[in-house]
Amino acid sequence: MLPRLTQASAPLTREVTVVNEHGQTETVSIPAERPLTIYVDRREVVTLMTLGAMPELLVLGYLRNQRLIRQPSDVLSIMVDWEVNAAAVETRDGITDIDARTAQRVVTTGCGQGSVFGGLMQELDQIQLPADARISQSSLYGLLNAIRLQETTYKSAGSVHGCALFRGADMLRFVEDVGRHNAIDTLAGWMWMQPESEQRGDDKIFYTTGRLTSEMIMKSAQMGVPIVVSRSGMTQMGYELARDLDLCAIGRAVNRRFVCYTGAHRLILQPELAAARNVDAANAAG
């Protein structure tokens, strides 16, 4: 049984008056960042800074990726009220040892979240990603083109991160938030609200505009997604985790350029596609 959710989406941007380099005033859009405090069975757990695009899915995915809940049926309802900037979560049977499980925090490199609960690293050895998951270079290029064409808050207001789930080159869901952690948590919540046959991650690819740090790799693996793609680079700990998990991590992916950091056996290379692009560019320049 899926949890009951409100639909409390908030405006993603607001207009402000600024002064430009010519001393002229103009109106620009900026992301509408706001706090959202999560209460689980009336116990305060954390405050997230978010755009508030899909706050209920963000809360569900946050609880999932923090391993506070194990399945969507653990949650009866998530009610978001922007008048008090709060999300009230009612669980079916409570969360066992919630005080102990939320006591230890690890400061992360994330923006818009800032910490994850300790103990998650010890659970990574329980994760088994599908051995046969693959992505072709042509599908990767199709994915990057879909991202390029996507209408985004970033294009109009900047200062946000975008994440998406793909099946091959087909975009399933795109999310933006002030932090990449919020965006991936929202995708995790969205996955859990799909029919049971669509909840698995083994046939999906995760894309992010942010760097591939250890916590991003960890969350992707927890979602069962074996292939991740980033516009940015990768940290050492992210690399080591991805390697140990046999996860394919592709970074610096823009247009037809990319580097595959780990899991290269999952990438079906078609280097002639990149070569053809270079020839086209040279011909255009000539």
Q: Is residue 248 part of a domain?
A: yes
Structure tokens at 112: 């818009």
The region, left, alpha or beta by phi > 0 then psi within -120 to 50, assigned to residue 161 is: beta
- CB-CB contact of 241 with 264 (8 Å): no
| pLDDT attached to residue 277 | 63
- Looking at the fold, whether 20 and 71 belong to one and the same domain comes out as yes
Domain end, chosen from 124, 156, 175, is at 124
254 with 155, same domain: the answer is: yes
169 and 96 in a common domain = no
Domain check: are 253 and 175 in the same one? yes
Q: Which of 124, 158, 189 is the last residue of a domain?
A: 124
3-state helix, strand, coil in the chain (%, to 5): 35, 30, 35
pLDDT, one tens digit per residue, over 85-138 is 999 999 999 998 787 767 655 444 444 444 455 555 666 778 899 999 999 999
222 and 140 inside one domain = yes
Residue 282 inside a domain? The answer is no
CATH of the domain at 108: 3.10.20.10
Total structural domains in the chain?
2
**Are residues 142 and 94 both part of a single domain?**
no
* Residue 115 sits in the same domain as residue 200: no
Same domain, 38 and 82: yes
Among 74, 94, 124, where does a domain finish? 124
Q: Specify the pTM.
A: 0.88
What CATH number does the domain containing 171 carry? 3.40.140.10
Assess whether 246 and 162 both reside in one domain: yes
Domain around 262: 135-275
Question: What percent of the chain lies above the pLDDT cut of 90?
Answer: 76
Are 176 and 162 in contact by the 8 Å Cβ rule? The answer is yes
Q: Does residue 71 share a domain with residue 155?
A: no
Q: What is the pLDDT of residues 20-47, one digit of tens each?
A: 999 999 999 999 999 999 999 999 999 9
Separation in Å, CA 7 to CA 81, 83, 85, 156, 195: 10, 14, 14, 24, 19
**Dihedral sign, CA of 201, 205, 207, 213?**
positive
Q: Residue 276: what pLDDT?
A: 77
